[in-house]
Amino acid sequence: MFNQFTVADYVVGNLEYRRELLFFLYLHLRGTMAWINRDYQRSERFRLEQDRGEAFSVGITTGMPWDSSMYLEFSRDFGILRNGKSGSGLMLLWSKAF
């Protein structure tokens, strides 16, 4: 399941670049940084600790036949979402407009 956590104060920044490589083929580059005061529970008490996390992703969107599109993305985060451990993910999405 998801690792949900409570934050008191936070700042999130996102920078994205999108470029049309060919007709109906787009490249996405995205970087995200977050600074948070996060609740940690250690031995039956809560305390706030400052935490920082970064993530980046690379994706390609292309048009497909019959008013549909396909999106392929690779993302990598550096610890804020996975309890201090880095990790990555791959997403493939096909959508159809009606």
pLDDT, averaged in runs of 10, over the chain (98 residues): 67 93 92 82 67 88 88 88 79 89
Domain that holds residue 21: 7-96
Give the per-residue pLDDT at 1: 45
Task: Provide CB contacts within 8 A for 1, sequence distance 6+.
Answer: none
What's the pTM value of the predicted model, to 2 decimals? Answer: 0.70
Cβ-proximal residues to 78 (8 Å cutoff; 6+ apart), any chain: 53, 54, 55, 86
Number of alpha carbons in the 13 Å side-chain half-sphere of residue 93: 10
For residue 1, tell me if it sits in a domain.
no
Contact 69, 93 (CB under 8 A): no
Is residue 20 in a domain? yes
User: Considering the domain boundaries, does residue 2 fall inside one?
Assistant: no
Give the torsion through C-alpha atoms of 63, 64, 65, 67, to 10 deg.
Answer: -60
Please check whether residue 25 lies inside any domain of the structure. yes
So what's the pLDDT on residue 41?
Answer: 62
How many domains is the chain built from? 1
Q: Is residue 55 part of a domain?
A: yes
